[in-house]
A and B are shown apart, each in its own frame.
Chain A
Amino acid sequence: MNWILLTPELTLLLAAALFLVLACLKPDPRRDYQLAVTMAAFAVAAATACATMSGDLFNHVYRVDLFSQVFKALLAIGFFLVIFLCDDFQGVAPSHHGEGYFLLAVCTLSMMMLASAVHLLAIVLALELSSYSLYILVFLRQDHRWGMITGLRYFLVGASASAIMLFGLAIIYGVTGAVHIDMLIQQLPAMMGHPMAVTGLLLTLAGFFFKLAVFPFHFWAPEAYQGAPNQVAAFIAAVSKVAAVAILLRMISMAQGNSDQLARGLIAMAVISMTVGNLAAIAQRDFKRLMAFSSVAHAGYLLLGMLCMTPAGYGAAMFYGGAVLIMKYTCFMVMVRVADDGRNLQIDELAGLHRRSPLLALALMMALFSLAGIPPTIGFVGKLMIFVAAMQKGYLVLVLVAMANVVVSLYYYLLVLKAAYLDEPAQVLPSISLTMPARLVAVAMIALIVGLGFYPTTLLDLVQAAVLRLP
């Protein structure tokens, strides 16, 4: 057994263990934060170092290949960035910071496992582990009223989604008699004409659609985002989507493009997701709720790439998953900095941001334009790739619908931008002071959004090589 392959996971496990112990000791927010950032940096280093490794572990239950390693690197980077935002983890009581880091580490660990798992039981295990850490993370909010209501709702919807998924897995097992993805890949495509197989696969996907917040499994998203501590909301919006993309790609690629029925189901979900997400977002006044509905819409775009069931489509979805991580994180970073006491930020409260912090305002503008898919940003390249893949399958109408949605989404992104750049606050607010590292991260995010928008070649080659590992 080659333990080197597991380095990123082991690093996170170590971090989790460390914070499990620290959570039992006397809390010291400063020390905890510095430790957490250090451990997260180690995780990023480990995940990038292991990016090109490959091999099978634990009797072929766990597969390490370029596909899983690229996702792990993205997850580790997202983990680091979110931890970095926790410098004054407002919104969570100081005595619970240790638990917060512990749960974030466990959640990232389980998401990494999700990216590598190729056995249905291992997938269920990893998914449940990540879901349960997130449920508790939402509960951690200092303001108990918010935390309790939304945490409970999140938990109930999530548990039902898990139940539906387990039912679907049982059906798949019943039809094929297989629990390993390699076996399923051999048997499923031939059976895709069988209604039971399609039902099973769709029900299974439901569990992952819940994570990605695809219609009709999106109802938890606005409440959970609103009720969770801001950093946790950033984690759900940015990092957990990456894991959802990874596992959805694994599951959808099992059918090997052999099913029109599956494609039709996914098309309907993608179209409704984008439309519902974008239309609902228009009415939002709370920044996190708006981001939640925009996540629903982005889940639709991601699904559009996946349902092409071609390597180009998978690559596009993977690229866009990385783009979502960067764009959403940047938006939440701005929010965390503006709402420095951990409150829920209203869009109106962004007023005068261009004067209070030109850097944050610029970062927000670039992130919003990127979310709206305006070039030259990473969001545009991602959308272009998805559209090219969809067009190759002949989905002209679908692309037009998606573009119409982009225009709708532009309206509410512009309203946010208007608040930040045009509106003046009722009373004069002090400028927002950022530490040097915080400035660096903000500049790095802007550079990534624009840089990868202008020159995405390296990343594109990487994802295209990675999706070749899928059947």
Chain B
Amino acid sequence: MAYQLADFPFLTTLLLCCVAGLLAILATPAKHTRAIKIVSAVFSGLTLVISIYLFIAYDQQAGGYQFVERVAWIPALGIAYFNGVDGFALPMLLLTGIVFFTAVLTCWEMELRVKEFFALIFLLVTGVFGLFMSLDLFFIFVWFDVSLFPMYLLIAIWGSTRKEYGAMKLTLYLLAGSALILPAIVYLVVHSGAMTFDLLVLMEGDRFTPAQQRIAFLLLYIGFGILAGVFPFHTWSPVGHVAAPTAVSMIHAGVLMKIGAFGILRVGIFLCPEGWQYWAPLMAVLATCGIVYGTFVGLNQTDLKYVIGYSSVAHMGIVGLGLSTMTIDGLNGAVFQMFAHGIMTALFFSSVGYIYDRTHTKAIAELGGLSRIMPRATTFFILAALTGIGVPCLASFWGELVVFMSCVRVYPVAGALAIGALAVGALFMLRVVQKTCYGPPLKKFAGLKDITATLAVPRIILASVIVLFGLFPGLLFDMINTATMQLIGLR
């Protein structure tokens, strides 16, 4: 596939911003927590600026891979440092930039082992950015693991509820996923007839027989699917989200789970289209199970964070459903939903995190009447809940709508089940909102403070992004569509 090398290495600059931030944090003495937070905010802000610039500067008429950089890395194995972005990667970079910046601002009040915390967050995000921009299978895998292994410490040190259990479960599940991805990647590279990890070269021509594609796609689907919260490999996700501290939940549910879905798309679907076709019905079944199961188990939860955790399983099911339809609309909707869910869930976790920090409880039964006590905080919470149930003019609506439209055509039963489940879920989510935010204000919470201006900034950013893309979904759809057309056109 033809591509032009970039004049200026924007993508590497983006990665270097993360690395420079990491080094700057490590160089700052641990007792200057304020300085560390400012350094973190500055560098994460820089990554956001660069990712916005990339999103705007991408030439949608030309399409294809842009801002491409390529340096031979390990020639003996055909590995290159090869970056480039297309219509799938750019929304993800933008999402990462937004969630990263807002997550850093959200933990402005944190005081426990601040230096290590931000250093690990920067390491994690470096891996996430790297994965979204990489076009070399070796680096995709390296970045995948770089973004996973800080999670263990982040949850186990700074987490809450059953944190060590949650951290261990999450790490083992996700690395079990990578234990399937690596053999699949090596399998594809070895059988390609050309010793190269270059994604674009591997896509050219019919390199793999249908049988090979089926094996590899299944491994990749399950491997990345574990991270994407695909039913029945999702059980780490609610436990991990509940145990994680707020900023980590935001990044994890907002961005890391998207890595899983993006991996299925970028490696699985790009390299094994026939494997995709073969396993698509399975994907649809598992995605529908995830939606129905996530919604109904969510009904039964008493812990606010568990509610969001299971709603994430259901929403990631919608992404999986979109990918399984093998249609242009399905793919567009799936990627749109990845973006929308990332922003929505980040807002969700940041609002619940704030409520938890003040009230010290996440139990729905113990909360009530919060809208009188902290009206600003509850506004964000309600907005996130409304986005989650897919209210029009908010970002999620468009992703869900497009996915369901294409799904009803391809898999009518699955589509009907999923829509039904979400309708029930919506009712329930409104009940949660009613229970926690309305009703008579509880005496014990009467003296609690509302969100201050500093802490409101990240939430306002997230909320405005939700509204922006809810009102102008075309901004995102046009971008995604360039990549989808190219992918479907190839087949």
Contact = CB atoms under 8 A, between A and B. Distances in A.
Contacts of A404: 176, 179
Interface stretch (A31-39, A69-77, A214-222, A455-463): A455-463
12 contacts: A369-B149, A385-B77, A391-B187, A399-B186, A407-B172, A407-B176, A418-B156, A421-B157, A422-B156, A460-B74, A461-B76, A464-B76
A24 interface: no
A387 B145 CA distance: 17
Contacts of A418: 156, 164
A374 B182 CA distance: 11
B112 to A, nearest CB: 12
Contacts of B475: none
Given A375-B142, A421-B153, A403 B179 contact: yes
* For the complex of A and B, 6 pairs with smallest distance between CB atoms: A403-B179, A375-B142, A391-B190, A399-B183, A391-B186, A407-B176
A375 B145 contact: yes
Interface string B134-166: 000010011001100100110011000000100
Contacts of B76: 457, 460-461, 464
A414 interface: yes
Which of A391, A392, A417, A464 has most B Cβ within 10 Å?
A391
Given A375-B145, A414-B168, A392 B73 contact: no
A53 interface: no
A392 B190 contact: yes
B180 A388 contact: no
Contacts of B215: 396
A422 B116 CA distance: 12
B183 A407 contact: no
A410 B74 contact: no
Given A388-B189, A388-B190, 9 more contacts: A369-B149, A374-B149, A391-B187, A403-B180, A404-B176, A406-B175, A407-B175, A457-B73, A464-B76
Contact of A411 (B75, B146, B156, B168): B168
B171 interface: yes
Interface residues of A, number: 31
Contact of B183 (A374, A391, A417, A461): A391
A407 B187 CA distance: 19
A339 interface: no
A407 B182 CA distance: 12
Interface of A: 369, 374-376, 380, 384-385, 387-388, 391-392, 396, 399-400, 403-404, 406-407, 410-411, 414, 417-418, 421-422, 455-457, 460-461, 464
Interface residues of B, number: 30
Main secondary structure of the interface of A (DSSP, over half): helix
Contacts of B171: 410, 414
**Most chain-B CB neighbours within 10 Å: which of A375, A399, A406, A460?**
A375
A378 B108 CA distance: 36
Interface string B189-230: 110000000000000000000000001000000000000000
Contact of B157 (A384, A399, A422, A457): A422
**Residue in B75, B152, B183, B215 with the greatest tally of chain A CB atoms within 10 Å:** B183
Nearest to B30: A358
A418 B164 CA distance: 9
Contacts of A457: 73-76
Contacts of A461: 76
A418 B156 CA distance: 8
Nearest to A404: B179
A414 B152 CA distance: 8
A400 B223 CA distance: 12
Nearest to B190: A391
Contacts of A380: 142, 145
A406 B176 CA distance: 9
Interface centre among B152, B182, B215 (most CB of A within 10 A): B182
Contacts of B179: 400, 403-404, 406-407
A455 B157 contact: no
Given A375-B142, A410-B175, A457-B76, A396 B149 contact: no
Contacts of B146: 375-376
A317 to B, nearest CB: 16
Contacts of B145: 374-375, 380
A369 B123 CA distance: 15
A196 to B, nearest CB: 35
A447 B281 CA distance: 47
A464 B172 CA distance: 34
A396 B142 CA distance: 21
Contacts of B73: 455, 457
Interface in B18-54: none
A396 B74 contact: no
Given A387-B186, A391-B186, A422 B77 contact: no
A291 B156 CA distance: 24
